[in-house]
């Protein structure tokens, strides 16, 4: 079955940003998959609303929730899977080094918490020391 076009897709994520973050952690541990948005020139990134001169990489725990954002300004992106092991071993340390934040399970309005990569690793039960 072909994927549902973005304009017919609605996010299953609600307005409770902490609950969306909790869901992100539990689902990626369950499935072993993290979803980001990728285009030919790289991954989707947003300026932080909380921290000056900081970028945020949004990620989702389900492809459908990532796909919601593949329209309008972001129509060049498609959901792309990152295996959890790669996310933990490569992405989180690299993001920490680059001083960027994680945007876990942002809702349909691209609203959500901005989390330090080390805090995500800790929530996943990974020792970063």
Please state the domain extents for the chain.
32-123
Q: How far apart are CA 124 and CA 28, in angstroms?
A: 9
Q: Which two tokens stand for residue 53?
A: 């001169």
> pTM of this prediction?
0.88
Q: What is the DSSP letter of 12?
A: -
Q: Candidates 1.10.3720.10, 3.40.1350.90, 1.10.238.10, 3.20.20.30; correct CATH number of 32-123?
A: 3.40.1350.90
Q: How far apart are CA 3 and CA 65, in angstroms?
A: 12
Q: Which two tokens stand for residue 63?
A: 């492809």
What are 25-82's pLDDT values in tens digits? Answer: 999 999 999 999 999 999 999 999 999 999 999 999 999 999 999 999 899 999 999 9
User: What DSSP assignment string belongs to 15-46?
Assistant: S-HHHHHHHHHHHHHHHSEEEEEEETTEE--E
Q: Which two tokens stand for residue 127?
A: 């020792």
pLDDT at residue 9 greater than cutoff 70 = no
């Amino acid at each position: 079955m072909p994927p549902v076009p973005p304009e017919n897709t609605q996010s299953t994520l609600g307005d409770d940003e902490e609950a969306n973050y909790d869901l992100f952690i539990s689902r990626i541990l369950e499935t072993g998959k993290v979803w980001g948005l990728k285009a030919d020139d790289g991954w989707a990134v947003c300026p932080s609303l909380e921290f000056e001169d900081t970028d945020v990489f949004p990620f989702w725990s389900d492809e459908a929730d990532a796909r919601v954002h593949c329209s309008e300004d972001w129509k060049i992106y498609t959901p792309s899977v990152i295996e959890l092991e790669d996310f933990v071993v490569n992405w989180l340390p690299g993001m920490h080094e680059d001083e960027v934040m994680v945007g876990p399970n942002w809702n349909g309005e691209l609203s959500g918490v901005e989390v330090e990569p080390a805090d995500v690793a800790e929530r996943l039960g990974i020792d970063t020391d």
